[in-house]
Amino acid sequence: MNHRQQIKQFVLRNYLFTEDENAVADGDSLIRNGTIDSTGMLELISHLEDSYSIKVADVEMVPANFDSIDAITAYVASKLPA
């Protein structure tokens, strides 16, 4: 399973409580549609830090990095060694 799939699974299971991959599109805003609220975002960040051994800096907590599965996938990829 690649990173995108792993991240999507986490979002589906923990915020939408489903395994239906059609429940959210990779480009959908997770914040705007209410999928993730402020505490949910902290849980997501904690999960990413644990799962990928990365450190999310405060300045990186912005919509460009976390507002969609696409954005999160790209962000995680940028944090991992090439």
- Positions touching other proteins (CB under 8 A) are 13, 15-18, 31, 34-42, 58-59, 61-63, 66
Quote the CA–CA distance of 71 and 82 in Å, as a whole number: 18
Q: Which is nearer to other proteins, 5 or 37 (CB)?
A: 37
Q: Which is nearer to other proteins, 2 or 38 (CB)?
A: 38
Quote the CA–CA distance of 74 and 17 in Å, as a whole number: 24
Tokens for 79, please give them. Answer: 């944090």
Q: Which is nearer to other proteins, 2 or 33 (CB)?
A: 33
Nearest approach, Cβ of 82 to other proteins (angstroms)? Answer: 27
